[in-house]
Amino acid sequence: MTLLRTARRAGLALLLSSALAATALPVLAQAEVSPEHLALARQYVEMTDRSAVYEQRVIDVATSVMRILIQQNPALADPVGETVQAVANEYVQEKGSLYNQFARIYASRFTMEELQQILDFYSTETGQKLLNQNPGINRDLSNVLQLWENNASTEFLARVRASLREQGHNF
């Protein structure tokens, strides 16, 4: 499976899971969180989304849907493209709801004081550097992890086959 296909599936999974997460919110809501607490958590969520992860996921899903529909009917490429763009814009406008869910998760795990300390750190020179470097760091980490995964899956298969052969099984 290619990285692009995996990313698209992950994007679709993110969108679907965010829709399903709305059903899980009552569980998170059991721990009452003040509006001020949520506001601090939301500030953190917005501050740390330098690489526009949600928007990129929407683009990935939109691209995948557009390819599927155009493959089914190439004559409709223009209206499909326009409609996919319109629906993608709708999803982008709904980001606030998803970010509120993210904020609730952070607020359920960090106190207001801890969130304030985190925000204070990100307002320092070092914190700003970390915020600015994170998209590139995450990209590099993802590349290293993908390379490792490719190598590990090949090596893993070889180890399993060798072990099975030692046990007298032929593959």
Quick: pLDDT tens for 69-120: 999 999 999 999 999 999 999 999 999 988 999 999 999 999 999 999 999 9
Confidence grade of residue 144 (pLDDT, cut at 50, 70, 90): very high
Identify the pLDDT of residue 49. Answer: 85
Taking the CA atoms of 7, 9, 12 and 17 in sequence, report the sign of the dihedral they define. Answer: negative
- pTM of the predicted model as reported, rounded to 2 decimal places: 0.63
Mean pLDDT across 144-161: 93
Q: What 8-state DSSP symbol labels residue 52?
A: -
